[in-house]
Amino acid sequence: MGQKGEETRGRLLDATRDLIETGGYFGTGLNQVVAASGAPRGSLYFHFPGGKDQLVAESVRRAGREIGEVLHALAETAPDAAGLVTGVIRLLGDRLEESGWRKGCPVATVALETAATSDPLHRACSDVYGSWEEALRLRLAADGHPEPDDTAATVLALVEGALLLARAHRSRDPLDRVTRRIAALL
Amino acid sequence: MGQKGEETRGRLLDATRDLIETGGYFGTGLNQVVAASGAPRGSLYFHFPGGKDQLVAESVRRAGREIGEVLHALAETAPDAAGLVTGVIRLLGDRLEESGWRKGCPVATVALETAATSDPLHRACSDVYGSWEEALRLRLAADGHPEPDDTAATVLALVEGALLLARAHRSRDPLDRVTRRIAALL
DNA sequence: TCCTGTTTATAGATCGGTCTACATATTTCC
DNA sequence: GGAAATATGTAGACCGATCTATAAACAGGA
């Protein structure tokens, strides 16, 4: 495989991740991916023989892993569950605003577009959300929360919904409002 | 304008609405719209000279109005805010499951895809979400809720997030979990 | 020379959008 | 009242651009 090969592969995944976050699965063309990554067209199909689906699925999983790591790090350092959640929202809000309302949740758009059509992509998105929810659940359970399962799902839904609304309105307002009311759930 | 013309126009909007709900803006081709509606290609550009953007924007607003009417009807009949929210979730959940996880929120996918790129589409999505939030806020205020503004935004985010997760997992589970925890916010 | 790992070039389909021709109402004018 | 003129839609072929995917050519080391 070689070092150069791995690097090209990584550049393709990073470029894909950036582009799908803004435009989703159908809104991102492989021409854009090739142009943004600097890799030649054929390399894409060498590294991802499964084509666009494989490329996007791996990008989704990679993005999910990255955010998952941030989540775990915050879960270690935050004083309580409320601090964890508000910390995540602030971090994601900063990223969203700095990117000009382009970068919200890297999974959401693809998840909605492919929910009913593509099995491998649907599975990738489902797995990522599952892992995030599990991270939340663990911290809630460790804190002795009475309903860790339902609350983890609810908090994840709340954060995803707030990110969606923030992008739709191009404003941090929904994130701020949700932050102010989150304590009622925890 | 004529009766026939209005009917063709409506068929185009309905077909578009169905298709974008499943595949989003970029995932829906005008060929599909033309095929599904039965209208010829020329009629599309006669009724929607603004092209795809105008067609989709009007479809989003129409879908938003329809759900808004359901929301207002439920706000009149539900005994309290909790009943209103759980009623909405049950209704949307039924629709989602019956459609094979295709029909969640008719606005969400387009909102995410076009948040940073298309102004008219972004505005249409933003307006629809704003109208739904306002309907919630009015009912919360009428019930004497202490924080109607923040809570309306939070509840809307929660429902949208739960619909997103339900589609991602192809399961009602997130909707059920959120329903069980919603009382803590109201 | 041959194989492995890349890269270029291109194929074939589909995209959104425009064009002209045609059918059907509706209005105008004698 | 009835024909001519105008407005309102319908219909589908067609355009260049772009899409994903493949096939053929290329480089460098054993």
**What are the chain B neighbours of A122 within 8 Å (beta carbons)?**
168, 170
Nucleotides, chain D, CB distance < 7 Å: 8-14, 18-24
Q: Is the shortest CB-to-strand distance from B1 to strand C under 7 Å?
A: no
Helix axes of B148-169 and B119-142: crossing angle, nearest 10 degrees: 120
B1 pLDDT above the threshold of 50: no
Distance (Å) from the alpha carbon of A99 to chain B's nearest alpha carbon: 9
Interatomic CA distance for residues B182 and B186, integer angstroms: 7
> How many whole angstroms separate alpha carbon A179 and alpha carbon A186?
12
Other Cβ atoms within 10 Å of B54 Cβ, number: 16
Say what the pLDDT of residue B38 is.
86
Q: Alpha carbon of A23 to those of A105, A108, A130, B22, B122: distances in Å?
A: 12, 11, 23, 16, 13
Selection from B140, B61, B166, B69 nearest residue A177 by Cα: B140
Instruction: Give the DSSP letter of residue B161.
Output: H
Parse chain B into domains and list their residue ranges.
53-185
CB spacing of B122 vs A168 below 8 angstroms: yes
CB-based contact, B167 to chain A, within 8 Å: yes
The single-letter code of the amino acid at B134 is: E
Contact, B33 CB vs strand D, < 7 Å: no
Cβ contacts (< 8 Å) between B109 and chain A: which residues? Answer: 24, 109, 112-113
Using the CB atom, is residue A41 less than 7 Å from strand D? Answer: yes
What angle is formed at CA A15 by the lines to CA A13 and CA A17, rounded to 5 degrees? 65
Q: Counting one residue from A and one from B, how many pairs have CB atoms under 8 Å apart? A: 182
Positive or negative CA dihedral for A8, A9, A14, A19? Answer: positive
**What are the two backbone dihedrals, phi and then psi, of residue B157, each rounded to the nearest 5 degrees?**
-60, -40
Choosing among A28, A97, A164, A185, which should be mutated to test the B contact, i.e. which has the most B CBs within 10 A?
Answer: A164
SS3 content of chain B, % helix, strand, coil (to 5): 80, 0, 20
Q: Residue B120, SS3? A: helix
Q: Is the CB of B52 under 7 A from strand D?
A: no
For residue A1, the model assigns a pLDDT of: 45
Tens-place pLDDT, residues B19-50: 999 999 999 999 999 988 888 888 899 999 99
Mutate to test the interface with B, among A158, A170, A171, A182 (most CBs of B within 10 A): A158
Q: Which fold has domain A53-185?
A: Tetracycline Repressor; domain 2 (1.10.357)
Which residue from B minimizes the CA distance to A154?
B178
CA atoms in the 13 A half-sphere facing the CB of A145: 22
A58 in contact with chain B, both atoms CB, cutoff 8 A = no
Is some CB atom of chain A closer than 8 A to the CB atom of B65?
A: no
CB atoms within 10 A of CB A3: 7
Q: What is the pLDDT of residues A106-160, one digit of tens each?
A: 999 999 999 988 889 999 999 999 999 999 999 999 999 999 999 999 999 999 9
Q: Are residues B157 and A169, on separate chains, in Cβ contact within 8 Å?
A: no
pLDDT in tens, chain A (186 residues): 455 667 788 888 999 999 999 999 999 999 889 888 888 888 888 889 888 999 999 999 999 999 999 999 999 999 999 999 999 999 999 999 999 999 999 999 999 999 988 889 999 999 999 999 999 999 999 999 999 999 999 999 999 999 999 999 999 999 999 999 999 999
**Which residue of B100, B115, B157 is in closest CB contact with A162?**
B157
Instruction: Select from B117, B155, B174 the least CA-distant residue to A161.
Output: B155
